[in-house]
Amino acid sequence: MVETTIINNTFKVVSELLAPDQEHLHTTATVVKYEFHYPADAPVPVITGYVDAHHRREVQYTGYDAFRIKGQLTLTVKEKEVILNGNLYYGHNENPALQHHFDGTLALFRETPPPPPPCPDDNDDSDDFPPQLAVDAPLFPYVNILPWPDDTPADSWLYFFSYDPAHTGTDSLYSLLAAIAPQKNRQAMEQLAIQFLQQDAPFTGQYYGNVQQVPPPFNSFPALYDAWVAAAHGSGGEDISAGVDTTSWLPVIDQLWQNYFALAIIPGFNEPFAIALNKILLVCNLLQTQYSSEPPRVFTQEEIRQLLHANVLLPGKVFPLPPYATALSLPKDDSRIMPFAIGQLKMSRYRLLRYQPGEISGIQNVMKGEQKKTVQRQLQSKQETQQESSFQQHHNTGRYQQTSNDLLLETKQTLAGFTQSTAYDNFTTTYGPPTQAVLNGNWSSSLKPDSNGQQSDSGFMSRVLNSTVNRVSERISRIRSFSQYSEQEAVTSSLFDNRQGNGHFRGIYRWLNKVYRVTVENYGHRFLLELNIRQPAQDYILSQQSLNATDLQKPLSPAEKGISVFTDITISNYAQLLSYYQVDVIQPPPELLAYAAVVLRPGETEKYAHIPEHYAAEEASVTGIIADGAPVQMIKGIVGSSIFEVPASAPGPLGMHGETGQLPVSAIGPNLPDAPPYKPNDFIINIRIQCRVSEEKMNEWKAGIYRQISEAYQQRLSAYINTFSRLSGEHEQNNPELLRNTERSALQRRSIVLLMQVFHTKVGEAPDTRTAPLNDVRYDQFFREALEWDEMTWTFDDSPSVFSYALQGRNDSLRPFLQAQWARVLLPVRPAFNFQLLYYLSSGMIWPAPYPFVPVNEPDKQIAGHLKTSYNSNEYTKIEHSWEIVLPTAMQVVQEGSQLPEFTSSPHT
């Protein structure tokens, strides 16, 4: 039984009393299935659920237009009737005191005959157990993807209707919009629509503003449309159009279209009148289609329903509007979003039906006259031992020692202050044949202070003999031990007494199996979006670095930084490389240039300039001054192999040839004296030699820097892998659902950012940006309502793990998400928002009215046609497949009989 209640012409509640044998009920419960539809003519429910007599159901809904429904549903079961009661608050105001209130009966179900008994099971087994428990729960959802058809549906005339500009004037809103559309000036087009809505010249008197201002009979068409939709059948055309020439309506219909275009450019303005206009145009399209031929067409009930739910196809010359000229430039990102396919959302559910014996787990045989006892013993023991010990030793000894070794040691330590002398007394050596020596005489050795008697012998002996050894040793030993021992024993004994029996006894133990029924339910078609997101974990990594100071950015190798070999290091990039790889010890580069200098004065004709090590002479500058009246007026010289003159005949530096080491510098003059005395102020010559660092020295420095950054890179990579593994949870047991929620929330945020980019690309920021924050909140709410985020599926492209074993990790960790370069997300759209989201993707604007009052842009006609085909044939909660599966358990059961089981059924049944 199905009951429908329409509340205040705003929303309706459809309820159904389910039979006791349906899948969603227990065998003895009385349950009512309910659906809330908003608006009342919406084919797709916004709230669904079940309520029984033992529970109160809370219902809550917030629509795209801020319409709210909140309250409770209860079920009263009497002897011959079932009553569905509702206590509901609804309206557009957030304050419950200002909302509408409904408190009463939503549906009344009379007693119905009991359902027929279930059919007997053909595979009935006497060993099966009757069902004592019913478990009904979902397993997992999935989407069966259907690719886009290549062509547009042939019956698209039932799905769309468009504007015919043949009957419009040159000064109409459409004509003016089409004239400036090639200029891509969105602001000018919006200004025309605002002038139309304000009835400024040249649009004075053209905007109706409300249904009452629309000429008859068109002002009655919204009510007629509601009646036709509520009735869901009836031709209706003969009531108002029989014998009427619809061509006389063309000027008014054209003016209605101009009103519609103005409201389409400014969506959300005067929304009730925009919906009423759409209803009028739908009725006009149905009548024009029906009476465009003679005799008039005869529509079926389904064709009338489709014509009443047709969508406006906006003219491509004007719509969608171009973006603002001042649109913000977005950062380059390869991420993209596009319509993917139409899929069927399906739910796999399971229900525990029964338990049944399975294979044999054991057999107990007891002979005639035998008594057998079987004992099963389980022993668990646990022992803990804890021991603590510490050791400390203290020893103190003080003594004086006077030995020759001590004296000798102290003498050597104070040898700087004393003198050793040796005296020989009649010490002779005699050699005999062939090699024999005879020593005669004696010798003595003595130590005396080397202080000319200032230091006494007693002071010396006191310093040497006062050698003290202090030794402290203390020993404390402490040992603490703790031991705990626990033991648990479980003994199960079975006694089989067949002493009084007349024959042998056989006891058969069998495993117990669970039998489940698995069903696949079709929840209807879903419009799927495909989002390809580059570096999906980027925001999550940055948040971890900001909140927990955890760096999850994979360090780039020197090759990725453009350093393939050590010669790629330069003076300009080495500091940045050392900073990136966090090298603390910085080796500055050698100076590119060094200088050597030589000064020649009178009497100095030759000197050598010392070229610094690892440098080579590059050029030399010679500067000289000769005093007035000096005997020398010109001096010539050589620097290396280059000749110079003072005063110089050709000023400029002298080229060197890469000389190293000592560079000779010489000078000669015709009046230079050959011998002293000289006048020191006759002349002076300064020679400055510029030297450039050698390539070997520079390569040595580059190799050192390259070695530093290579080692630092390995250290950063090791720290990155350890941090990565720790955050990924690879060293501990994690909750997979928690990890998936982390991925889901990160992908949801990135998806919303990607969806917001459609607005920035298609619309951009208006010159007046004061409403930008409000737009962000409004669009975010729209995305959260229009998309089924709980049914989102995704895959990661974690290509780095393929090439590097060190970066591979478990699949039940966050590593695939953290190191993924791309994420492919499939996001279903709620059926009620199919056309709103399609319109948003093509225009960047949210259309506030519900289906079917959502227009379609011409480029989306093919996709919208297939959406309507799937939308109209949508069947919800339909069981498509059902089968039984058997799962083994660890439980055993004793078979009542002693006959061995036979499994004669086919393995494929």
Token pair for 319: 């719509």
Give the closest residue to 641 by CA, choosing from 617, 624, 625, 623.
617
Q: Indicate if the alpha-carbon torsion angle 415, 416, 419, 420 is positive or negative.
A: positive
User: DSSP code of 585?
Assistant: S
The amino acid at residue 379 is: L
Q: Count Cα neighbours of 86 within 13 Å in the Cβ-side half-sphere.
A: 25
CB count in 10 Å sphere of residue 11: 24
| C-alpha closest to that of 263 among 898, 847, 901, 741 | 847
712's tokens:
């630092």
CA distance linking residue 840 with residue 779, whole number of Å:
10
Assess contact for 85 and 71: CB atoms under 8 A.
no
CA 645/CA 628 separation, integer angstroms: 17
Cβ atoms of residues 514 and 355 within 8 Å: yes
> For residue range 131-140, what is the model confidence (pLDDT) as tens digits?
444 445 566 6
In the chain, the largest separation of any two C-alpha atoms, in whole Å, equals 168
- pLDDT (tens digit, 9 = 90+) per residue, 57-92? 889 888 877 888 989 998 888 777 888 889 898 888
What is the per-residue pLDDT for 813? 67
What pLDDT digit, counting tens, does each position of 8-63 carry? 888 899 988 887 654 444 445 688 889 998 888 887 788 888 888 777 888 988 88
Q: Are 83 and 75 in contact (CB under 8 A)?
A: yes
- Give the pLDDT confidence score for residue 664 in this predicted structure: 92
pLDDT of the residue at 701: 92
Which residues of 287-370 form beta strands (DSSP E)? Answer: 311-314, 336-366
Q: How far apart are the first and last CA of the chain?
A: 37
Q: How far is CA 252 from CA 215, 279, 411, 424, 677, in A?
A: 8, 15, 131, 149, 126
Whole-angstrom Cα distance, residue 845 to residue 421? 113
> How many Å is the Cα radius of gyration of the chain?
51
This prediction has a pTM of: 0.56
In angstroms, rounded to a whole number, what is the distance separating the alpha carbons of residues 207 and 615? Answer: 89
pLDDT at 707: 92
Across the 909 residues of the chain, what is the mean pLDDT of every consecutive 10-residue run? 83 83 51 88 83 84 84 84 88 79 83 50 42 51 65 72 87 91 89 90 89 88 87 48 60 91 90 91 87 76 85 91 72 70 76 86 84 78 64 43 40 45 54 51 53 45 39 42 72 80 83 87 80 84 68 79 88 88 87 91 86 92 84 84 85 87 83 56 86 92 92 85 63 65 88 88 71 67 88 75 45 72 87 89 89 89 81 58 85 84 64
Give the DSSP letter of residue 297: P
Interacting residues of 783 by C-beta distance below 8 A, sequence separation 6+:
751, 752, 755
Asked whether the beta carbons of 758 and 840 are under 8 A apart, the reply is: yes
Beta pairing partners, 486 = 382
- In angstroms, the CA 863 to CA 153 distance is 10
Burial class (CB in 10 A: 0-12, 13-18, 19+), 694: middle
Q: Are 196 and 212 in contact (CB under 8 A)?
A: no
Q: What CA–CA distance (Å, rounded) separates 708 from 584?
A: 10
